[in-house]
Structure formats: C-alpha cells, structure tokens
Structure 1
C-alpha cells in the first residue's frame, strides 16, 4: 500500500535497555527482544520502534551517538541486530529505529578530529565560535540547563542544544548532510521500515546567534531554538534523498511545530509521514485530575487539536513514551487507577485520527516509581535538576516527589514480565531500579487472563485492524459534547463508521441508547442507558 501502510499500523515502542535481558548483565539486549517477539506478535502490533541502540557513551541514554554504523555492544552485535530484523519480518512485524541527527556524541570520530584540528573538514560539521572576552558567544539556555556553549581547551566554544557531551551538528554544511544521508540509506538497505526522528526541529539555527533579553536575575533566558525559517530546505532534501526512495515510515519529534506549521511537517506532501501530537499529552495545571473540570479541560484540548490536524495531516498518537511519566499516573489519581480506568484511557486515544503508539509496559498497566534516593535514578536531566534545586535550598524529598510524578525514569524502569526477582527482566542486577509492584503487575499474570488489560489492548488492536479503511480515511467528529466527563467521537467514511464512547469519571453517567453494534466494551454487563464508572464502548455501523 504505497505511501500510507503506516496508516493501518499499530506501533510498539521498545526501550532496549529495559525490555528484556538475555545474558544476565542487567541490561536489555537484542536477543532479549527476539525472545519476546512472540509476545508482541500475540498482542497484534505491526511495527516496533526501538529507541537508540547505536554505539554511545550513554550520557543521555543513547541519544549521544558515537558511531552511527555500529550498535552499542551492551545490546549485542550488528549481526544480532540484523537477526532481530529478520525474526521480526518472519512475524510480519516491521522495525523502525531512532534517527538522532541534530547532534552526536563528543566521542564521535568527527568531533574528536575537530577538537584536534580546527582546520580539518570535520570542524565544519559543528558550530565553533571564538570570543575576544572569553565569554560565551551568546546567552542562550541549553535544554538541559546552563549555556548552550561549552569551551574547548584551545579556547573555542562549541554549541549544544542539550548536554555538553552532545555537540550540535552543523546542517549548513553540505558535506555533513551527505554523510547523514549515506548513513540513513545504509540502515534502510538493512531492511528497517523507517525512523522515529529525534529533536529534528532544532537542526536549523538562528545564525545571527544574537543574545536574548533577560529577566531580572536570569543569566540564560529560554530560547525557542526550533523551526527557524529555512529548515524546510534541509528536510525536503533529506526526504528526497532518503525517505521517498524506500516508502518508509517517518515520525518526527517536532517541538515548536504549531497548528500553522503542521501541514508542512505532516501533510499530504509534508516532510514526514507523521509527527507526534503533543497538543493534548497531559493535564498541565490540574491539582485534581479526577475533577470534572480537569477532565473537560483535557477533552476540549484533545478534541480541538485532533479535529484541526485530522483535516490536514497525519499524527502519531500516544499516551506514553520514554520521556514521559506513566499514563495512569499522568491522567488519573492513584485511588482511581484500575483495569476499568486504564482500559477507558486506552479506548479514548486508540481511534483518534492518526497512528496509535503503545509504550512497553503500557499494555499491562505499569505505573510510576516512588523514588526515594536520587542515586536510584539515571536520567541526566533529573540529576542535574536535582543538584540545582537542592543547591538553591529546596527540600530533597520534595524534589524527589516531583520526579515520582513527572520524571522520565518512570518509563525507563525494567519491563515487568513475571513475579520472579526483578520482574523476570534479568537474573543479574538491573541497570536501574525495578518498580516494587512487579509482583502484582506483570505480563505473565495477564497474557492468559481474558479480563486483563493486556487482552483488552489486544482486542483494541484487532478492532483497529478490522476497521482499517475507517481509521485510515474517516474524518474525526466529536459527539455528545454536552455530557460532562464523556469522551465521545465518531469516525465515518462511505456510510461505515466507528463510535467511541467513554465515561472518564468515577461515577455512573446516565446516557442514551445507541442503536449500533457494540464491538468492544470493558464491562461484561452493561446497562444500555447508563455508563458505569470508566466504562468504554466501541460501536460500529
């Protein structure tokens, strides 16, 4: 199905360090993923997105790449990676990889050469500046805190949007771009089906590098840094020289892309197949996530955003990823977390306009960790924020409580396979703390339980596949918006359609009879004119 096979696919995201360890070293690996391919095939997913697996010092969990052509030996060998691609293909599962080309590692050969010789070709692959007063070239703030500039021993400053160990690549350099395109095509020739593209809107810089105004007491102001004019030249070139040749799936992490720019990025002739829809990813500013006010505010934000995007392009829709806290904690109060609320949440997002993504462990209801010690955490951003906050006099326990609610490491704890030690993830010492609740929340207890969350996700995926023509083509239309706490929308095309109805409250809701076939419900027995707390129904016609 040329150019849109991904519009009928369900994607499962794997964080390889935390998925399955096959050799007991405490780190997930390619052979571990191979061991669990039957589990994923049984779930019904079509595509696996594997987070960075390239050679890396792991300063930022693999998003600092030191060799684009080699896999990180902690995960296995290049041959193991090729074996994984082959075994997945046997099960009709495609694989996409992360593409991290805004920056590389400071250990990459290019940067190492540039450090030694300011006049070598590789020096043009980065942003180097010198200043007369020994101060940073400007006052822009890094996304990880502090200046975007770090200094080499020879006095040169280099630019990094993220950690100082992640120097930004200079996309203005034609030779650098060609090196990147060669690498992309090399992986596509290996048989992968595409890429999730990291932080791509940062590749174009404001080349004036002019300082920004600061507020009182502020040294490094927050600078947008994204989607600068002219970025389309680079993205069109990459699409033409790489993506279009292979009919591959490309999903961009594109911070800074607003509604006005959405079509350029993910429209019919956009730079990418889709971009992640961050427009409704959380309930920011809500102290009580269970209140009708919070639910209605979130619903309005979601439906407004999806309705706009559905008319002009394609989105990647998700509840969790490796940079987010777990969705059950993000959208629900702890006392309301249950099979019913988890399955209701899954039902809300799964049939929106776009390709649904499931993050590892989401299908069994994994939750956030209660972090008690900063040393149990791994996230470089969290550790630096903790040091900065405590240094400013904030209570360490309060800072840890913040990370227990919103920290990225909540999604990076090991996959909980069974109730044995370390959740069956490893027979060694896991690289990061396991969640203490693995004895009650694990895959083994759910796979053969027809009433489990795992099997509800399995039925959702089957329903999605059964109605592929609808999810691919049908417009999105909100329904019954007058009911507070009710998420209801229709997808209809050529007289066929799906109607999604979810009571996202912890109370019964009087509704109206629907004269359509109920394809899926998370309750065994339902009252036609009443919706139980967190009841979800999927109708077809």
Structure 2
C-alpha cells in the first residue's frame, strides 16, 4: 500500500457550537477553539474536523448552508478562522472542514433566485419538478419525516429536499451546479484546509424520472433512500469531484456513506478510491428499527463485535475505514455500547481501547475522552434537534406514551452528543459565562476536563496513553497496517482481537461481561486500565482472570 500522510493520524471532531464559548453568548466560537488547541495537542490529536461553520439559518445546525464563502457570525469572522487555521498548523496539526454539497439552505442566493423564476436558469441548480395527479411528483419520505417534495408557491412545480424543507437538494446533473461546487471546494483548499468530511454524499445521484415505489409506512410514503439504492452512476460524480478538487492538494477526505452497493467498497476507499476513507457505520444497524428509533433492537456484545469484525474483514486489502464510537449525529457511545454495570471509568477506557486500536483511522468526538454520556432531558421541549422531534412524534403515532417516547429520545437523540463540552466544575461546566444554547449535562460537577487532568488514573489520561501507544515507534506500523484477527470469538463477554503484521502480533482483549473471564496469559503488557499490582494478583501460570471492565493490550 502506498503511504499517505494521513494513514497514521488520529482525528478529533469539534462541534463548534458546543465546544468552547469565549464571549459569553452561550455559543462556542473560534476563539474558544483556539484557546483549547494545546489541550488537543497534548491529547495526541493530529487532525481536527470542524462541523459546519459556514453562514446558515441553523435549521439543521449549520448543515443548511446559505453562503459557502462566509462564516456564521455566531462562530466569529473569516479573519478569526484564518487565525485558527494558522494556530492549528503552528502546532503541527491539520484542519479539515465539513463539506455539505447534497443540499444547501433555502436562503442561499441561487435558491432564492430560483423561487423568483421557477422556469429560469437558477431553477436548474435544484430539482424543480411538476407535480402529478394534483400532488407531489413521487412518494418519497424525507430523512426528517414527511414528504421530500415541497410545493413552490404560485407554480405547478415542487422542489426536492431529502432533509428538511429548508434544505433543497442541489441538482448534480447540471454541470453549472457541479462547477460552482468544485470552485468552492478549491477555494477552501487554497486557503489551507487539509481536506473534508463529506456529508451525506451518496444522495447526490438521483433518478431524474423520480419514480414512486411501494409505500413502506402507513403514510403512503417510502423512505427516499429507496431511490438512492435503486440508481447507478454516483461514482462518476465522485470521480469528477476528486479529480477537479481533492487530488490537486492530496487532501484527506472521509465520506459519510450509507446505502453503498455491496461491491463498491474498493471504488470508494481503494488505492484510487473516491475518498481517502469512509466512516465505519457497522453499528448503525442497532440505531433504528423497522419503523424508527422506538423499535431499535438492543445492542448485545456478540452482535456488536460480529458487526465490527465483519467490517474489518471486508476492508482488509482494500483501504482504511474511519472508526467511531460516537459523533454529532449519534448518542454517546458510553451510554450506547456499555452495559449498565460497566458504565464507569474502566468501561469507558475499555470501550475506547477496542475501538481506537482497530485497523482504520481513529475519530474521537469531543467529550468522548472524558466519558461524557447521554443527557437526561426532562421534556421534548428541551431538545433542539429536528430529527429528535420527528422521532418523538413517530413514537407517539405508534402508540407509545409521552414518557415512553421521551425515553426513546433519551436513548437515541443526536442532542445527547451536542450538549456543551464539560471543561470544569464551574458554572455551566466552564463552557460559557452566559446562557448555554443547549442544556448542560448535570453530571458536569463530577465529569469534566479540569478534574480529570488532576487524576492520574482518569479516562482523559488513559486516552493520552492509548493514543501514545498507537503512535509509539515500536508499534505504529502494526497498529496502522496490521491485519485484525478476531480471538475468543465464541465468548459472550470478551471483545478481543490481534493486530498482526509479519511475525509480530499485539493482542487487545476486553471483558464486557459481569463475571471474571479466563484468558491465556501473554508476555509483555503494553497497556491496561488496571494497576500492575492488580494484574499480578490475577495471574495464575499460563492463564489469568480478566475482571469485568478490564482491558489489556499485550505482545
């Protein structure tokens, strides 16, 4: 495999609105981020991914962009962004942006012009389609619920929006649309960003006949992904985009790719793939049930590790996926993957270890390194997320009580990951001197950066050691390029694998059960979440007892 500069890097995702507020308006900003760059450097971070910071009405938290060339005033100015970029580079780190090009905001200049003349030039930048039989052109349901078509006032046409109605989809079939997007990408690359996380990108290819399909719900609609899964040709757009933009600067790109066809993995992340990497969403099968969040199936260790190992095996010899425990679109991994009896410091350390030492690019989401967890909202009014409000209603419509529907949101809401970063035990977790835009988790008194920086055995210090181990000169090659070989596969409590390169191997083994588990004793321990004294007490000749919540990394 040809070496690329990003192969051995560790990425940290910042959700700017919730990271650090410097001016007391309750919203995180660039100056707040700049003030925490040394913290990220000490953690061991190489690449920082910023969730959207472009000008936006924030209907969908910045994923509805009204101007790709301007910064949302909530975060600061373009001059402050340039300062942030310079400060990141000064520390030997890289900055990547969020690239949202399936859709924009209905406040975007081009869309406003299109509405003024639904038959004019700018209408072709979007999908303006005549209705059928007195209704929408087809029966697609958007990601956020309801029809994916919105009637254009004073016209017999509708516009397509896979997400909120305020997020019209770009028409990628129009060459002028693509050129506008490519010019914008190159503008940011020329400014000095190192690459992009590419949002919802599989959706850009549409079947422009817009056929209806058999409904999959009582509303008579079918999820819009049905059309995405049925159409071919997205690779042509992606290759053109790569050629016209990313390849010019050897940019690092990670795709948010769902609904990819089974035989397309090499095309997406192979040696000459569309992207450098793509997120490993193998655990997504546990997030949503047949009808929504409310009937999602419970995560069990055997099913979870089977999904992870299956993904690792299919990627072997092809390229790199990007491994996550959580992100801005998912609940906290601490609350999602750990059984109740292991929702503690050792459990958080074990979870981080088995994820970060897999083959692939490790992505750490803000707060993960201190064990932040789902926030117990008291009512649906405390949520901000548009998707959460939709799923709350879906649960009610399915017959759940208000309390049951609220419990579903507490388990699955995207706002679980969007509550402000917990920096200290001071008011508002040290995030802001004003009123925070979203509720702060009440456990910030006990779970915060300042407290963990003072504790030698904290989750934060463990993450520093874990990242340092992955980068250690003696082990880096095996962690970056070694195969993942599952071990103890039949165990219902052990999550274990070896990383193998040539004649060398390192074993990672964690006990997620409620009882001790006997394992074969290896030679040199490289990392453990228990003290050396505890480890020595467990050893019994060629075997040892692995305690609940314990993880070991050894030769």
Common fold by TM > 0.5: yes
Structure 2 residue 366 is the aligned partner of structure 1 residue 360: yes
**RMSD of the TM alignment (CA)?**
1.8
Residue 388 of structure 1 and its aligned partner are, at CA, apart by 5.2
TM-score by length of 1: 0.95
Q: Does 1:160 align with 2:166?
A: no
In the alignment, structure 2 segments of 5+ residues that lack a partner are 290-295
Structure 2 Cα separation of the partners of residues 300 and 168 of structure 1: 36
* Bigger Cα displacement from structure 2, 260-269 vs 96-105: 260-269
* Structure 1 residues 512 and 472: alpha-carbon distance in aligned structure 2, compared to 1, 3 A threshold: closer
Distance 1:216 1:53, change over 3 A: closer
The equivalent position to 1:519 in structure 2, one of 522, 526, 535, is 526
Question: What 5-or-longer segments of structure 1 have no aligned partner?
Answer: none
Structure 2 residue 553 is the aligned partner of structure 1 residue 534: no
- Alignment partner of 1:270 out of 268, 273, 279: 273
Hey, what's the Cα distance between the residues in 1 that align with 2:422 and 2:328? 16
TM-score (norm 2): 0.93
In the TM superposition, residue 218 of structure 1 has moved relative to its aligned partner by 3.5
Q: Does the CA-based 8 Å contact 1:226-1:255 persist in structure 2?
A: no
Alignment partner, residue 464 of structure 1: 470
Displacement of 1:508 in angstroms is 1.0
Between the aligned partners of 2:466 and 2:398, the Cα distance in structure 1 is: 47
Q: How does 1:33-432 map to 2 (within 5 A)?
A: 33-131=33-131, 133-155=133-155, 156-214=157-215, 217-223=218-224, 224-226=226-228, 228-281=231-284, 283=286, 294-387=300-393, 389-390=395-396, 394-432=400-438
Distance in 2 of aligned mates of 1:217 and 1:301: 31
Contact 2:492/2:513 (CA < 8 Å) preserved in 1? no
The 1-side partners of 2:2 and 2:437 are apart by 41
In the TM superposition, residue 173 of structure 1 has moved relative to its aligned partner by: 0.5
- CA 1:176 to 1:504, structure 2 compared with 1: closer, same or farther past 3 Å? same
1:316 aligned counterpart, secondary structure: strand
| Partners of 2:164 and 2:345 in 1: CA distance | 39
- Partner of 1:487, secondary structure, is strand
Match of 2:293 in 1: none
Check the 8 A contact 1:416/1:424 in 2, yes or no: yes
Q: Which moved more, 1:217-226 or 1:185-194?
A: 217-226
Matched, 1:503 2:518: no
Shift of 1:335: 3.8
Distance 2:179 2:107 in 1: 20
CA pair 3-95 structure 1, distance change in 2 beyond 3 A: farther
Runs of 4+ in structure 1 deviating by more than 6 angstroms, as ranges, are: 285-288
Question: What SS class does the counterpart of residue 7 from structure 1 fall into?
Answer: coil
Q: Distance in 2 between matches of 1:296 and 1:212?
A: 35
Tell me the CA shift for residue 480 of structure 1. 3.0
The structure-2 alpha-carbon separation of the partners of 1:162 and 1:116, relative to structure 1 and needing over 3 Å to count, comes to: same
> Deviations 1:301-343 (Å, cap 9, x if unpaired)?
2112211112322100000000100011101233421111111
Q: Tell me by how many angstroms 1:133 deviates.
A: 3.6
Which stretch of structure 1 is more off in the superposition, 329-338 or 244-253? 329-338
